[in-house]
Structure 1
Amino acid sequence: MTSINRAKFAVGDLVHHRLFDYRGVVVDIDPGFQASEEWYQAVAKSRPPRDQPWYHVLVHGAVHTTYVAERNLEHDTLGEPITHPLLAQFFSRFENGHYVREGRIN
């Protein structure tokens, strides 16, 4: 079983960042940390594990994305859609508290 199979969240899942209190949606998953050592030292202040899944997240009400370790995320309990200018590039619709990707999305 690979790390990606053990990922707690899936693409399209709504998540909540435990430390920074923001909501978002997962758009991609890395099986382990994939950014540079410099980025990790400068940004990952809580020193989350590199060998566990990391998530690319569109942040609700913002224009940026984040790269977050699994241990800093939890399932979002609101279940409401988020607003982000890149949503349509990743997903075709919001259904039952989850974003859905159908066919080829540009």
Structure 2
Amino acid sequence: MSILTTAGFNIGDVIIHRNQKFRGVIVDVDADFQGSDDWYDQYTTNQPSKDAPWYHVLVDEEGSMAYVSEQNIYTDSSNMEVEHPMVDDIFENYEAGHYMPRQTIN
């Protein structure tokens, strides 16, 4: 029996990381942690749940991508766009704190 997990954030949402304070835009969502145990042990500091949603995020002004747990992010209310070289490849436009994907992803 599987447990249905509902993500609190969507692709295109602009977020802030609680601990590291970086901003970014969500480009993909995993229902639960999909990394290795070694990665988890090395890169997580507060041992977030592996059973909650995890997000792939384009990091603002860095040109990098982060993999973050839902418990470590919150909505960015600054209404500022994210500066990342891949934003225009993935999203059509930005409006009111949210990016619209170029195509629907299943």
- TM-score, normalised by the number of residues in structure 1: 0.91
Q: What corresponds to 1:19 in structure 2?
A: 19
CA contact (8 A) 2:77 2:97 kept: no
Which letter does structure 2 place at the counterpart of 1:94? Y
Which segments of 5 or more consecutive residues in structure 2 lack a partner in the other structure?
Answer: none
Q: What corresponds to 2:87 in structure 1?
A: 87
Which letter does structure 2 place at the counterpart of 1:54? W
Which letter does structure 2 place at the counterpart of 1:21? K
Pairing 1:66–2:66 present: yes
Q: Report the alpha carbon displacement of residue 96 of structure 1 after superposing the two structures with TM.
A: 2.0
Q: Report the alpha carbon displacement of residue 2 of structure 1 after superposing the two structures with TM.
A: 2.5
Identity rate, percent? 37
Q: Report the alpha carbon displacement of residue 80 of structure 1 after superposing the two structures with TM.
A: 1.1
Which letter does structure 1 place at the counterpart of 2:59? V
Q: What corresponds to 1:100 in structure 2?
A: 100
- Structure 1 segments (4+ residues) deviating >4 Å: none
SS at match of 2:71: helix
Inter-partner Cα distance in structure 2 for 1:103 and 1:15: 21
Inter-partner Cα distance in structure 1 for 2:45 and 2:71: 13
Which letter does structure 1 place at the counterpart of 2:64? H
Q: Report the alpha carbon displacement of residue 103 of structure 1 after superposing the two structures with TM.
A: 3.3
Which letter does structure 2 place at the counterpart of 1:28? D
Q: How many residues are paired up?
A: 103
- TM-score, normalised by the number of residues in structure 2: 0.91
Q: What corresponds to 2:4 in structure 1?
A: 2
Inter-partner Cα distance in structure 2 for 1:99 and 1:2: 26
Q: Report the alpha carbon displacement of residue 57 of structure 1 after superposing the two structures with TM.
A: 0.3
Q: What corresponds to 1:47 in structure 2?
A: 47
Which segments of 5 or more consecutive residues in structure 1 lack a partner in the other structure?
Answer: none
Query: CA deviation digits over 1:41-98, x for unaligned, max 9?
Result: 1111211000000000001101110000000000001011010011122111112221
